[in-house]
A = this chain, B = another copy of it.
Amino acid sequence: MADQRKQRTVTALLDAAEELLRHRPVDDVTVDEIAESAGVAVGSIYNHFGSKAGLHAALVERALQVDRGFMDLAYRSGTTPVEQIRAAAEQYLAFYLTHPDYFRMLAFPAPPGRYAAGQELSERLARAVDEQNQRLVDAIRRGVAAGELRAADPEQVATVLWAAWNGIISLAWRPDPLRHDEARLRALLQTATDVIAHGLLVTGTPDR
């Protein structure tokens, strides 16, 4: 196998990209620059990462402690499931506000390109996202067991919450008058949290 050569190429590209992106926005750095800086051919980017975005995503994977660090704050022990769910929403927004590029890659990933390596990377990132979502599932499960939360499918509810947060936060980069700034995002998330906690229906209102 040519694993060593392959690994050398991957590492060179990651190191080069990391160094270049440390000082300039990803849109200002060309694939030619990265390849040249890494001392490899441009085609290798696509071979191993699927696209420029895939290479950027691989840097995210390297730095996935970021997501974990934020979510660790949400799930610290000593807090109730309800508190954890509430904190998860807040920390998810904080993650977006400090790392918008990373956030968007995880919440709304680009296609992985046509080579196996890009697809594997895409799947690894999805698994990392799912890990975080499982923590939300666990919190919901504990809440139900503790009698604090209504009996519900924790997996489904967690996915709904996560997808809803994604949708709300996506208003932050709309390029039109429907765009929301940070303050409005916070207010929206607060409203969402309230609705999700207490529901919309007045007790006794028929469901249909």
Contact = CB atoms under 8 A, between A and B. Distances in A.
Contact of A199 (B80, B125, B156, B195): B195
Contacts of A208: 80, 82-83, 86
A206 B197 CA distance: 10
Contacts of A168: 160, 163-164, 167
A149 interface: yes
Most buried by B among A125, A178, A199, A207: A178
Interface stretch (A5-13, A14-22, A29-37, A109-117): A109-117
B202 A199 contact: no
A165 interface: yes
Interface in A102-156: 108-112, 122-123, 125-127, 129-130, 140, 143, 147-150, 152-153, 156
Contacts of A163: 164, 167-168, 170-171, 188
Most buried by B among A86, A166, A199: A199
A175 to B, nearest CB: 5
A194 B150 CA distance: 11
A86 B201 CA distance: 12
Given A156-B191, A191-B156, A175 B110 contact: yes
Chain multiplicity (copies): 2
A200 B206 contact: no
A1 interface: no
10 contacts: A80-B208, A82-B201, A82-B205, A82-B207, A109-B174, A122-B175, A126-B176, A152-B195, A153-B191, A156-B188
A108 B152 contact: no
B202 A170 contact: no
A157 interface: yes
Ordered nearest first, which 8 A-B pairs have the shortest CB separation?
A167-B167, A199-B199, A164-B164, A126-B176, A163-B167, A166-B167, A198-B199, A156-B191
